[in-house]
Homo-oligomer: A and B are copies of this chain.
Amino acid sequence: MLVVFSKDVSQEEIAGVERRIAECGGDVRLVQADDRVVMVVSGGDTGAMEFVSKLPYVERRVLMEKPYKLVSKALHGKVRTVEVAGHEIGGRFFHVCAGPCSVETREQLLYTAERVSESGATFLRGGAYKPRSSPYSFQGLGKEGLDLLAEARRITGLGIITEVLSEEDVDQVAAVADVLQIGARNALNYALLRRAAGTGKAILLKRGMCSRVEEWLLAAEYIAIQGNERIILCERGIRTFETGTRSTLDLSAVALAKRETHLPVFVDPSHAAGRTDLIGDLSRAALAVGADGLLVEVHRYPERALSDSGQQLSPEMFDDLMSSLEPFTQAAGRILERRSSSDLAGGGHSGWSG
């Protein structure tokens, strides 16, 4: 049960409800949702519910069967948008976030950033800390990569999405990123989720490679329960027996998550397919199924990439992809959000040439 208090409820009144519910065996957590205090009640007998239903300073009660509560669409009764870097994510807007798998060099990053920006991307994605299956693989530039991302933002005006892998790095990454990405390998790393949530930054939460939709939404609940509702879900393919693609993109999960939560849902077709030739088709399908945005890997020279070279688009291919999305955004009644020229520090072309 969710108990939404009216705006003018007092601390004493809330404390009284808390005591009473505890007496009925219920467990209580308080969360600030917009301008209201919401009490999330787990367990407890019917006495608690009856008691609450009669209080004048309770605006409404929401009974919920599903185990997730704060990310449930029932909490606000509608989808919500997340504001990041001057953009609204979700709702009518469709965002494309693009960039290299890994930040490799200044030249590579800035060139790619400019190109994806010109093609209409609103966010730059790129990993400074890379989770790699092998400890012998390139692990990312770390702090140096973060600095390059910050520079790319200054020059292009793009928002920055980058992954954080360790609790220890959270503050450092949060100092640069507009959106903290939690990758598939850490999708159920609740300690990291809590630390990232605590920064107040928007969190892009990828679905784990074998997470059920319910588990994914519960992982988001771990973030929301810290008081941070700025969550963007991201489907990136699940593990199945199919070997023709790297993972199996589960667009039903996107449709399901959109029905169950008020959160925006993105799709990462690059990691799902693991091959460039399917990315256009999957991106259009993601848009049609109701996703709110894409995470697409783009590299100046895909074949030279230090990680995931087989799945990164060239800037030209990315530009074609963006053009091909236009008619589908219209069919879907969505607005393909683009970085406006006024986002640029100096306006117009940035003058940087890689």
Contact = CB atoms under 8 A, between A and B. Distances in A.
Interface stretch (A73-81, A234-242, A342-350): A234-242
Contacts of A212: 241-244
A282 B186 CA distance: 28
A218 B278 contact: no
Nearest to A281: B255
How many A residues are at the interface, by size bracket?
A: 35 or more
Nearest to A249: B252
A278 B254 CA distance: 10
A175 interface: no
This protein's copies in its complex: 4
A209 interface: yes
Contacts of A186: 188-189
A47 interface: no
Interface in A281-316: 281-282, 284-290
A242 B250 contact: yes
Interface stretch (A8-16, A92-100, A128-136): A128-136
A325 to B, nearest CB: 9
Contacts of A252: 242, 244-245, 248-249, 272-273, 278, 282
Interface of A: 27, 29, 40, 42, 67-69, 131, 133-136, 165-169, 185-186, 188-192, 208-210, 212-215, 218, 221-222, 225, 238-245, 248-256, 258-259, 272-273, 277-278, 281-282, 284-290, 327-328, 330-332
